[in-house]
Amino acid sequence: MNVIKVKNYDEMSEKATELIVNRINTLENPVLGLATGSTPEGLYQRIIKKYDQGEVSFKNVTTFNLDEYVGLDKDDSNSYYYFMKEKLFRHVDIAMDHVHVPNGVASDLEKECVEHERAIEQAGGVDVQVLGIGGNGHIGFNEPGTPFSSKTHVVDLDQSTIQANARFFNSIDEVPTQAVSMGIETIMNSKEILLLVSGEAKADAMAKLLNGEVSEDFPASILKQHDNVTVIVDEAALTVAE
Question: How far apart are CB 92 and ligand F6R at their closest, in Å?
Answer: 19
Q: Do residues 161 and 188 touch, judged by C-beta distance below 8 A?
A: no
Q: Judged by CB under 6 A, which stretch of 54-62, 88-96, 137-145, 211-219 contacts ligand F6R?
A: 137-145
Instruction: Answer yes or no whether residue 141 interacts with ligand F6R by CB under 6 A.
Output: yes
The minimum distance between CB 135 and ligand F6R, in angstroms, equals 8
Rounded to the nearest 10 degrees, the angle between the axes of helix 9-26 and helix 41-52 is 50
Q: Which of residues 43-72 bind ligand F6R (CB under 6 A)?
A: 66-67
Q: Is 39 in the site for ligand F6R (CB under 6 A)?
A: yes
Q: Does 76 participate in catalysis according to the annotation?
A: no
140 binds ligand F6R (CB under 6 A): yes
List C-alpha distances in Å: 192 to 59, 69, 217: 21, 25, 23
The one-letter amino acid at 111: K
| Catalytic annotation, pick one of 98, 100, 116, 138 | 138
Applying CB under 6 A, among 70, 88, 101, 139 the residue interacting with ligand F6R is: 139
Q: Is 116 in the site for ligand F6R (CB under 6 A)?
A: no
Residue pair 87/197 in contact (Cβ under 8 Å)? The answer is: no
The residue (of 12 and 56) whose beta carbon lies closer to ligand F6R is 12
* 71-108 burial: b if 16+ Cβ within 10 Å, else e: ebeeeeeebbbbbbbebbbebbebeeebbbbbbbebee
End-to-end CA distance of the chain: 17
Per CB under 6 A, residues contacting ligand F6R are 35-39, 66-67, 132-134, 138-141
Active-site positions read 67, 136, 138, 143
